[in-house]
Amino acid sequence: MRDEQETVAYRIEAGIAWVSFNRPEKRNCMSPSLNRRMMAVLDELEYRDDFGVLVLKGEGSAWCAGMDLKEYFRETEEQGLGAVRKAQSEAYGWWRRLRWYQKPTIAMINGWCFGGGYGPLFACDLAFAAEEAQFGLSEINWGILPGGGASKVAAELLPFRRAMYHAMMGENVDGRTAAEWGLVNEAVPLAALEARVAEVARVLLEKNPVALKATKDAVRRVREMTYDNAEDYLIRAQEAANFFDETEGRKEGIRQFIDDKSYKPGLGAYDKDRAVPVPSSS
Ligand code: COA
């Protein structure tokens, strides 16, 4: 069995952290060891300043074949309720961590994506798939409901009839259909996937990172708010971002447009490297 340490791999290159599910021989299904290791890796990386975007990919032919039926279900059930609850909290824990991650996150679905894999799929802010990838809520095929958030993900991302069909029929869809349905942003041929994801990541790296964190949290949070609550939350969130942004990016963004005329916000981002950090107490 693969050492816990090796169930997740990562490398940082040109501002992008490429984090991989690394159990290709088991189609990257999520065992308790992998879940613990992934949380440790996310912890280790979150506040490092040598990267600005995290990409979650899979080694080999799979992105993630869902929960490990042997190690996550059978073996923990044999150990009793305490072990089951612990395994659940380890899995759900890193998905939650990823949903609210400090850096923008991109799921790069290179192959199989099943069941429990919908948790990390939804946790990533953006998702790009290979046209050849296969997505499925396979739980019904082995006799359970799509748990671990998977039913919620289907209901969040898909129209009602489609979510119902997807969950009840246990049929797979390819990356192209997943993009049409809105499970992912886009599908491209597998050979072009990494380049497309790197291109998207590079655009994100140009943006103000404080504004990006505020934006991704805002889009997730407001889904569950009334309009009035959302308006109020967004005012508070922007004011909090103003406090955290030591570069006072919004003022610099206005200055470069109105005074310097060096860019147009409608056509691209201001040059954040020209902003001068100011003390955060202002
Ligand atoms: N849990 C446990 N083991 C899994 C697994 C999972 N979810 N997915 C794959 N594996 C294991 C297989 O048992 C096999 O192990 P072995 O080599 O010790 O026999 C190994 O990974 C390779 O899988 P295999 O089925 O031979 O690969 P494949 O490429 O022919 O098929 C899948 C890939 C993903 C279609 C197939 O493995 C599968 O259906 N997996 C289960 C998917 C699923 O229902 N996940 C939802 C869980 S919530």
Per-residue pLDDT of 106-118, as tens digits, reads 999 999 999 999 9
pLDDT in tens, 215-248: 999 999 999 999 999 999 999 999 999 999 999 9
233 contact partners, CB below 8 Å, separation of at least 6: 218, 221, 222, 225
Give the integer Cα–Cα distance in Å for 276 and 205. 18
**In the chain, % of residues over pLDDT 70:** 98
pLDDT > 50? residue 165 = yes
| Residue 198: Cβ-neighbour burial (10 angstroms; 0-12, 13-18, 19+) | middle
pLDDT at 280 over 80: no
Say which DSSP state 169 is in: H
29 CB under 6 A from ligand 1?
A: yes
Q: Note the pTM of the prediction, 2 decimals.
A: 0.96
Is residue 271 scored above 60 in pLDDT?
yes
Ligand 1 centroid distance, CA of 102 (Å)? 32
Kindly tell me if the per-residue pLDDT of 267 is higher than 90. Answer: yes
Residue 266 is which amino acid? G
Torsion of CA 46, 13, 122, 237, to 10 degrees: 50
Q: Is 71 in the pocket of ligand 1 (CB under 6 A)?
A: no
Q: Please name the amino acid found at residue 279.
A: P
Mean pLDDT of 116-138: 98
Cα–ligand 1 centroid distance for 60 (angstroms): 13
In a 10 Å sphere around its CB, with 0-12 CB exposed, 13-18 middle and 19+ buried, how is residue 62 labelled? buried
What H or E segment, with its residue span, contains residue 154? helix 150-157
Q: Is 140 in the pocket of ligand 1 (CB under 6 A)?
A: no
Residues 78-102: b if buried by 16+ CB within 10 A, e if exposed: eeeeeeeeebbebbeebbebbbebb
Provide the pLDDT confidence category of residue 80 given band limits of 50, 70 and 90: very high
Is the separation of the CB atoms in 209 and 217 below 8 Å?
Answer: no
Distance (Å) of CA 178 to CA 129, 204, 236, 253:
8, 23, 35, 36
181 pLDDT more than 60: yes
Which atom in ligand 1 lies closest to the alpha carbon of residue 142?
44
Q: How confident is the model at residue 276 (pLDDT cuts 50, 70, 90)?
A: confident
- How far is ligand 1, taken at its centre, from the CA of residue 196, in Å? 28
Whether pLDDT at 282 is above 50? no
Cβ neighbours for 31, distance < 8 A, ≥ 6 positions apart: 7, 23, 68, 71, 72
Question: Are β-strands 173-174 and 51-58 bridged in parallel, bridged antiparallel, or unpaired?
Answer: unpaired
Ligand 1 atom, smallest distance to 70 CA: 2
Residue to probe by mutation, ligand 1, list 21, 23, 29, most atoms within 8 Å of CB: 29
Ligand 1 mutation pick, 1, 22, 27, max ligand atoms within 8 A of CB: 27
Ligand 1 centroid, distance to 187 Cα (angstroms): 23
User: Ligand 1 centroid vs 27 CA: distance in angstroms?
Assistant: 6
166 close to ligand 1 (CB < 6 Angstrom): no
Give the span between the Cα atoms of 268 and 274, in whole angstroms: 15
- Report which protein residue has its CA nearest ligand 1's atom 16: 26
Average pLDDT over the chain reads: 96
Q: Is 69 in the pocket of ligand 1 (CB under 6 A)?
A: yes
How much is the average pLDDT of 273-282?
68
Q: Kindly report, residue by residue over 22-76, the tens digit of the pLDDT.
A: 999 999 999 999 999 999 999 999 999 999 999 999 999 999 999 999 999 999 9
Task: Specify the residue with its C-alpha closest to ligand 1, atom 33.
Answer: 27
CB atoms within 10 A of CB 168: 11
Interval 119-130 mean pLDDT: 98
Structure tokens at 152: 């919620």
The Å distance, Cα 262 to ligand 1 centre, comes to 54
Q: What percent of the chain has pLDDT over 90?
A: 96
